[in-house]
Chains A and B, each alone.
Chain A
Amino acid sequence: MPTVRYIQFDGAERTVDAAAGTSVMQAAITNGVPGILAECGGAASCATCHVYVDDAWVDRCGPPGDDESEMLDCAASERRPNSRLSCQIELSDELDGLVVRTPETQS
């Protein structure tokens, strides 16, 4: 089962186990990891699950899709080259150990 490490803006950390096929957003939400709102429940419709993917994992997570990229431009916190919407990153064994950082604010 892949694990994901979430590092909040203030440095606090949480690591959760999640089934492969779950999104990075869903794993955070169901386990109550702070820093991710996900108001639309994972439809890439709200840009409130914005994360910065750790540099070591950027390639394995891949680039954002077109719609996702447009949404990221309008996210509440600054967009960076490693920005993704966590609802669009699907966990797999390949992403076991993934590290993401949550931004200062989501809304």
Chain B
Amino acid sequence: MGEGTVVVGAGQAGVQVALSLRELGYTKPITVLNDEPHPPYQRPPLSKAYMMGKLSPEGMHLRTSDYFERQGISILSERVEVVDRSERKVVCSSGSRFRYEALVLATGGRNRTLSLPGAELQGVLSLRSLDDASDLKERLTSARNVVVIGGGFIGLEFAAVASKSGAHVHVVEAASRAMARAVSPEISSYFTRRHMERGATFSFGDAALRINGQDGRVTSVETTKERMLPADLVLIGVGIMPNIELAQAAGLTTDGGVVVDEHLLTSDPSISAIGDCAVFPNAFSKTRLRLESVQNAVDQGRAVAARLVGKPSPYCAVPWFWSDQGEDKLQIAGISLMSDTRLAKGDQATGRFSVFVFRGDELVCVESVNRPADHMAARNLLKTGRLGGITPEVVRNDAFELKTYAARAVADA
């Protein structure tokens, strides 16, 4: 015992470490500790295809249990309580102990809660897990008035499904626009308009003050701007908190996430942290960041696996994100942090456009709406690192086509 890798968390990041280790020829034991009551599954469809009834829970499984078994990957239902660094073991709530040579923390996050009066009423939900999604989906079938607290990706993806199912949806967002932390104003304004076309209404710069109910069930949401919104279903989607308590208790450095270096190592050289819970030096924004995305989870999982089989390289994958809302597809490549110039290209009226985001003369991010070719081109381009020529002046030119430009740059690289 003690001669293998133990992964805490069976989300996309944790499972990827295990899969990549085997692909790379790792032969020691791999144990993935799963604190959810389901086999490992993908989360993105929960607010999209699964919510719409287009996917079954089985359809979201990351791999069949047969496959994990054949690969010699043990996925165990365990909740880790303690990381004992001196003994190099983890202790679970069941009493089981697992010794490790390498430990990977892929503990993810949990929904941020609001301490609102009435938040405990029936019909007030949040969305992170398959069980959350199943509950929400079931209640949506009879919901007439849905209030979404928080106009971020999750809230708006759910809002699109809820509108489509025939409910009236009202979104309450504290910031002055939708998805404000993640996207540029042009994108916010396009998506807000589209949601309104589907019948949704919005209050920006407003927040829930209390949730009212009758007989234990939600009936309305009162806001700080004194709106009284009728509600038989409320989704609170105000972001996540990274699960860092295990790391903290074990004395690892944390700072809004488990702090790791460019090799995704924590302050203990036998412990890595990846995915939603990890704060890492981002090669693109040149800051320390914590990212919540499938891309980040998967690429960090691969990077740790490569290091564990003796092929380390600094983590520098291009960040990308997507969100499907109704008929519209938003795709983001890069990180728009600390940007100063934006240029929208394409047609915002018909909903096929991209926003080019610059920091000084440097292209840092491309946000595309229904322009998948722009998105792919942007990712390929960011990967080459050859962005010197693509200044705001170049993009402003009417004849500029990202696809053509990127194809040339990639061929030259």
Contact = CB atoms under 8 A, between A and B. Distances in A.
Is the A/B pair a real complex? Answer: yes
Interface of A: 19, 21-22, 26, 29-32, 39-47, 67, 70-71, 73-75
Interface in B162-198: none
A73 B373 contact: yes
Interface in B396-413: 403
10 contacts: A19-B58, A21-B59, A30-B62, A32-B67, A40-B44, A41-B44, A43-B44, A67-B329, A70-B376, A73-B376
Given A22-B59, A29-B63, A30-B61, A67 B370 contact: yes
Nearest to A76: B380
Q: Which of B294, B295, B372, B375 has the most CB of A within 10 A?
A: B372
Contacts of A32: 63-64, 67, 70-71
B372 A44 contact: yes
| 6 cross-chain pairs, A with B, having the tightest CB-CB distances, nearest first | A74-B376, A70-B373, A32-B67, A45-B322, A70-B372, A41-B42
A46 B48 CA distance: 17
B275 interface: no
B78 interface: no
A31 B49 CA distance: 21
Contacts, number: 66
A30 B63 contact: yes
A19 B49 CA distance: 17
Contacts of A39: 294-295, 298
A46 B70 CA distance: 28
Interface in B8-56: 42, 44-45, 48-49
Interface residues of B, number: 32
Interface string B249-271: 00000000000000000000000
Interface of B: 42, 44-45, 48-49, 58-59, 61-64, 66-67, 70-71, 294-295, 298, 320, 322, 324, 329, 331, 370-373, 375-377, 380, 403
A74 B380 contact: yes
Contacts of B66: 31
Contact of A26 (B59, B294, B373, B377): B59
Nearest to A19: B58
B376 A40 contact: no
B64 A30 contact: yes
